Amino acid sequence: MEAQTLRKGSTLGASAALEIAVPLARMLLLSRALPLGELGFASALATAYALYDQVTDMAVHRYVYAERREDLDAALAGAHGLLVLRGLLLAAGALALAPLAATVFGLPGGAGDFAALAGPLAIRGFEHLAPRVAERDYRFGPQLRAGLAGAVLSLLALIATLALGGGHDALTASLYGLALGQTVASHLVARAPYRLTFFGPAFRKALRFGAPLMANGLGLAVAAQGDRVLVGALLGPETLGLYAVAMLAVLVPVSLAQRLMGAVTAAALYNAGERRAGPIRLIARAAPALGALYACGALGCANAGISLAFGARFVPTPEVLALLSAAAMLRIARAEPFTSLLLLEQRTRLVALGNLATLLALLLSAALMLARPQVESALIGRLCGEALALAVTFKLARPLLGTAAHDSFRALALACGLTLAACVPLGSSTTACAIVCAALAGGFFARALFGGAASPLRAGAPP
């Protein structure tokens, strides 16, 4: 059992690591190969692509997660139909909005580059969802293989374009490689046949599940990309290039933590059935501890890592690093078990409401940046948005938490305290406080997640 748990955990970890390895490696290569203006242009393209994708994200694979096993084929067909329709409409929207996007980012001659983003958006619409859905049975290998194919082709396309003298268009080539590689590989590794259903019962059910999550996607897009749009529009492409590196180095790895916790939580709760109180309680304790571990580790080590990987010109100020780290802690803490609980109950409107709270923070960021145009202003708004989204999500999911609500609240208070304590010596010559706080958070996380028979890595088993 221990060997099986370790094998499954390592496969999941590798799959999640791939999702951040590609953007990190891509930015590392671009930052070393391109002048700052071209890097800013590439960052603007990446931001626009992420906005298009996240605003219309319906998490349709989670709809299939929640369906009965005997209905799996029909649910997959309906989800595939919805995914294809979304991809085609999204590509059309990217083409139509290309001139506006170029103007917003201060790149009026770049409309054609923004229009080229339509291709990978359309291609991803034909992805086979079976490898993702297999994760509910703790089978993480198929998605790992699909992701690996996309990562390899993406980086090869990037390197080839740079070698041929390309600039910001290397980013676009990388996105095409990622979309093609992952989509084709998802069909090759899938065990279920690929079928499409348009406007049938399964399609309508998938649409009812996913449509409210477009509002959720809007909130996620604002949380992840809104401040980048403000920085690019108000401070220019070169500042956006510097800002994007700091954001990527500190915040993008957060998706690794969210991916790991999300996959483990969804599978554990699905398989635990009515006996899910134990896993809920443990994850309610573990998620904030993981957030504090990440934030304190970033406060202690991020600047050294950024200087080594990207160069000294990209190292953020102590204030910027503190704001980014605190936002990272809140984002990790507000994800689980709230999101998996609400999605398994198909309460997608409540998931959307939690993330839409970040819209208010975007308004605050815009007001602060207009009053004082600097990156710290944008990050204060980001931090406020994460805090507000956490409060709203906790309130909405509290009835589903049961007695675990008290565990979650105490764990959140502890995580905030550790993160705040780690910020105290920031700017001095020592990072000892941040390292001590990270060690404490790591101890709390290990105790919560692995400390009992009800561990979500042990709870439940696929039939």
What predicted TM-score, i.e. pTM, was given to this entire model? Answer: 0.67
Res. 431: pLDDT tops 60 = yes
Q: Which residue has the higher pLDDT, 192 or 57?
A: 192
Q: Phi, psi at residue 190, to the nearest 5°? A: -70, 140
Res. 158: pLDDT tops 90 = yes
pLDDT at 97: 92
Please state, in angstroms and as integers, the Cα–Cα distance from residue 180 to each residue in 14, 46, 269, following that order: 20, 17, 33
pLDDT at 241: 80
What are the residue ranges of helices labelled H in 116-200? 118-124, 130-133, 141-163, 169-189
User: Tokens 């689980």 appear where?
Assistant: 336
Band of pLDDT at residue 94, cut at 50, 70 and 90 = very high
Band of pLDDT at residue 278, cut at 50, 70 and 90 = confident
What are the residue ranges of helices labelled H in 372-431? 375-401, 404-423
pLDDT at 461: 40
pLDDT at 1: 43
Tokens of residue 166, six digits: 């390309």
Provide the mean pLDDT of the chain: 80
Who contacts 322 (Cβ-Cβ below 8 Å, separation ≥6)?
299, 423, 426
